[in-house]
Structure 1
Amino acid sequence: MLTAVKHPEVLAPAGTPEKLKVAIDYGADAVYIGGDAYGLRSRAGNFSFAEMKSGADYAHQHGAKVYVAANIVAHEQNLAGAGSFYRQVRDAGIDAVIVSDPSLIETAITEAPGLKVHLSTQASATNYETLNFWQNEGLERVVLAREVGIAEIKEMRQHTDVQIEAFVHGAMCIGYSGRCVLSNHLSLRDANRGGCAQNCRWKYDLFDLPDLGQKRELVGHGPDGKAEKFSMSAVDMSMIEHIPDLVEAGVDSLKIEGRMKTVHYVSTVANVYSTAVRKYCADPANYQLDPAWVDELWKVAQRELSTGFYYGTPNEEFQLFGQRRRLPHYAFVGEVLAYDAATRQVTVQQRNNFGIGDQIEFYGPNFSHHTQAVTDLFDEDDQAIDRAPHAMQVVHFTCAQPVQPGDFVRAQARH
């Protein structure tokens, strides 16, 4: 009988120092961040070297790791200073750097000895020969192309012992392995150097040109039959229902997309995947998917969810077209600062408008939850109020069950 199995790493995004701490507090085994250069998320809250060191210290104190994404496709003007950048990353205590460009990989290995290197998904690794090539070049881990399926991962695992990392949740790029020139073409922003304008998420007109000078607009129809302009946007990925397949295939690190996502998203997704992985690895023979995990992920979903390429080539159901089949119905409204057991008063720092009569849900690490209605509400001066409308306002109210500092609060969206 199969008992415990190897615990794969749950790797969460951390676009800011706050999100780094939240991801780790909510169960992530590792986080990936960006620096001030060489990353593909120029608009994320990227880290200074001092923030990298502080983040790495926090992670290591909690038994977690930090990786820095430096995975641009470099042009000549991007190469100067790369050696110094990697040395400072290494000296900040970062556990590894994620790179796709061969010249930058060589620079990291030769000019920052001791800094571990992971191959980015941008490099499109889709076979075990490629994995072995990069391992022979000195890389510790390969982040697979997003177009690789479960059966292919199993075959790779049989022929290589390099660490395998794979995306399991979050936004999917319409470009092969994230390499796209659409943004550069339409917006003069190079997606391969951190400037993606998300052009694939736009709606487009499509025209038939039967004869010279003629133009006829073609309009699609969504599942509801209503006319709609065309979209090339992929739905998001979710593999929460397939944790056993990922672990048994030999994936070492389960990667969550989203360095530009909110604290609400990071905490929720890290919480769900770490809980599911922990339960499966502890007792795989008796493991069962908890429907509450799926429901939890829908509370922060931005788009439809699918399994991407894991079980075959995506079809039209894997594209954003037509009316959404399911919508999130919660808003992130606050963070718990303190709880007084004697008075049953919780102190919350507000993040979004909420007030008396709202149904709210507290959630915390290890998948702790409870729901209640807000029956009273007081501001910092202990004055009774109906609502908390001001950003970062500190309020307190009666809480039916004990909660912990660092727990978060959601409210059901008003319709």
Structure 2
Amino acid sequence: MELLAPAGSMDKLKMALLYGADAVYLGGKSFGLRAFSDNFSLEEMKEAVSYAHSLGKHIYVTVNIFPHNADLQGLPAYLQSLAAIPVDAILIADPGIFSMARQLVPELPIHISTQANTTNWASVKFWHDNGAKRVVMAREVSLKDVQEIHDKVPVELEGFVHGAMCISYSGRCLLSNYFTQNRDSNRGQCVQCCRFKYNIVEEKRPGQYFPVVEDERGTYIFNSKDLCLLPYLPELYASGLCSLKIEGRMKSIHYVATVVKVYRQALDAYEVDPEHFTVLPEWLEELEKISHRPYTRGFSVSRPTEVDQVYSHASNTQTYEFIGVVRSYDAARHIAWIEQRNHFKVGQAVEFLQPQGHLVRHVITYLTDEKGTEITTAPHPRQLVGLYLDTPLEPWSMMRRKAAAHA
């Protein structure tokens, strides 16, 4: 089973691979559906592919917009550049781009994006017969249907297991385009209108806003909970999926590291002893520490109902704050060198999530700046701070503390 993680930047890519992902998917500066993430230039993609391949891992690039005529002008050269790097596969949703890729870069494996809303075995067979290596299932497909597709078509199947859920069918949304003057969700510029709070305005009474009340909890009628299928890992294996996909190219490195490590541990535990596999409470606790909405199982084993929406608020919640990244550990002096990402100080209780090792909890007793001068606080962004700690820490460990509301 492949664990596939998002990479919205080089830091996130490295974090995903170091914390246990087998592959990452990323977007270029154009032709992908996450225009507001950092994304990768062609030169950065070369670096990313070289780094991933040095670890025996893979890079998949999204080319999954629904293009207008003008979008096609630079596409042939872009596809040829991706093949030359070479990336390991491209994700495509549009039949025109698919046809162009098959003609121009037939050696480049194609994965059919979830945006193509593939929901049945006949559609999967169509893509397979025309040369697709893998099909990413629409999020509306149940695991029972995935299993039937797997039994009928000899093609790789990939499915989302964790992250934000789009309210529109397979992510095909017109709201962003309509409300924000050509910020087209299907061309990578979604502004998440589904998370807005809505009221009704009657035509002859402009300026008078009437609340939309679905029930007593509120009015965020398009605000889906986040997907979490960790408790259904045995069912995911049984369905015939070959790759489990995490959403979140625009999420933080803390999000990527935490989710990847939890699913890595769970997959490893299942594959060692599937008969006695159980979801550990500490895994679920870790998934509560990241920024997220309440969790849902989506369409995996049943149809969503009203309980799968969040009615009270549009923002995410999290129990821990990400405050630093470990750059190195000086074993002789017992000093961990931390790149500051949020204010921290002496006396605070913190913990370190390591790429491979166990979780380390610590109360800060001593800090120093780069020159060796003792300090009591680390207030400056990206400041390099020495922290005294007896336990050695791995580079790229995540430093965090309880959020104020949960302290």
TM over 0.5: yes
5+ residue gaps, structure 2, are none
**Which amino acid counterpart does residue 337 of structure 1 have in structure 2?**
R
Cα distance change, pair 369–144 in 1 and its aligned pair in 2 (3 A): same
Q: Which residue of 1 aligns with 2:144?
A: 151
Residue matched to 1:198: 192
| Separation of aligned partners in 2, 1:119 and 1:52 | 20
Asked whether the 8 Å contact 2:162–2:247 carries over to 1, the reply is yes
Deviations 1:110-131 (A, max 9, x none): 0112111110111110011111
Q: Is the 8 A contact 1:335 1:408 kept in 2?
A: yes
* Cα distance in 2 between the residues matched to 1:328 and 1:112: 44
1:28 matched to 2:21? The reply is yes
Q: Distance in 1 between matches of 2:137 and 2:174?
A: 21
Deviates more, 1:68-77 or 1:361-370: 361-370
Amino acid at match of 2:43: A
Which residues in structure 2 correspond to 1:76-155 (within 5 Å)?
76-155=69-148
Matched, 1:171 2:161: no
- Asked whether the 8 Å contact 2:223–2:314 carries over to 1, the reply is no
Confirm or deny: 8 A CA contact 2:219 2:312 kept in the other structure. no
Q: Which residue of 2 aligns with 1:302?
A: 292
1:311-340: CA deviation from partner (whole Å, max 9, x where unpaired): 222111111212699942211111112212
Q: Deviations over 1:75-119 (max 9, x none)?
A: 111111211111100111100000000000011110112111110
2:250 alignment partner in structure 1: 260
Matching residue within 180, 187, 190 for 1:187:
180
User: Do the aligned residues in 2 keep the contact of 1:35 with 1:68 (CA within 8 Å)?
Assistant: yes
Which letter maps to 2:189? G
Root mean square deviation of aligned Cα: 1.9
1:381 aligns with 2:371: yes
Q: What is the identity, as a one-letter code, of the residue corresponding to 2:87?
A: I
Give the 5 Å matches for 1:224-235: 228-235=218-225
- Residue 292 of structure 1: which of 263, 267, 282 is its match? 282
Amino acid at match of 2:236: L
* 8 Å CA contact retained: 1:378, 1:395: yes
Q: What is the alpha-carbon distance in structure 1 between the residues aligned to residue 31 and residue 211 of structure 2?
A: 41
Shift in Å, 1:301: 3.2
Q: From the superposition, tell whether residues 378 and 99 of structure 1 become closer, same or farther in structure 2 (CA, over 3 Å).
A: same
- Letter of the aligned partner of 1:396 in structure 2? G
Q: Tell me the distance in 1 between the aligned counterparts of 2:354 and 2:86.
A: 28
- Report the counterpart of residue 46 of structure 2 in structure 1: 53
In the alignment, the residues of structure 1 paired with residue 326 and residue 378 of structure 2 have an alpha-carbon distance, to the nearest angstrom, of 14
- With 307-316 and 325-334 compared, the bigger mean Cα shift is at 325-334
The answer for unaligned runs of 5 or more in structure 1 is 1-7
Partner of 2:234: 244
User: Partner amino acid for 2:283?
Assistant: W
How far off its partner does 1:140 sit?
0.1
Q: Which amino acid aligns with 2:59?
A: V
Checking the alignment, whether the CA contact within 8 Å between 1:275 and 1:367 is kept in structure 2 is no
Shift of 1:173: 0.5
Q: Is the 8 A contact 1:56 1:92 kept in 2?
A: yes
Aligned residue number for residue 67 of structure 2: 74
SS of the residue 2:118 aligns to: coil
Q: Is the 8 A contact 1:57 1:93 kept in 2?
A: no
Change (3 A) 1:379 1:134: same
The one-letter code of the counterpart of 2:25 is Y
TM-score normalised to the size of structure 1? 0.93
In the alignment of these two chains, the number of paired residues is 403
Per the alignment, residue 5 of structure 1 pairs with none
Distance in 1, matches of 2:190 and 2:274, equals 40
Tell whether the 8 Å contact from 2:261 to 2:355 is kept in structure 1 after alignment: yes
- TM-superposed deviation, 1:280: 0.5
2:311 matched residue in structure 1: 321
Tell me by how many angstroms 1:229 deviates.
Answer: 3.6
Question: Which residue identity lines up with residue 175 of structure 1 in the other structure?
Answer: S
Q: Distance in 2 between matches of 1:343 and 1:256?
A: 39
In the other structure, the counterpart of 1:275 is 265
**SS of equivalent to 1:58:** helix
Distance 2:186 2:123 in 1: 21
Q: Would the aligned equivalents of 2:220 and 2:314 in 1 still touch at CA under 8 Å?
A: no
> What is the one-letter code of the residue matched to 1:199?
C
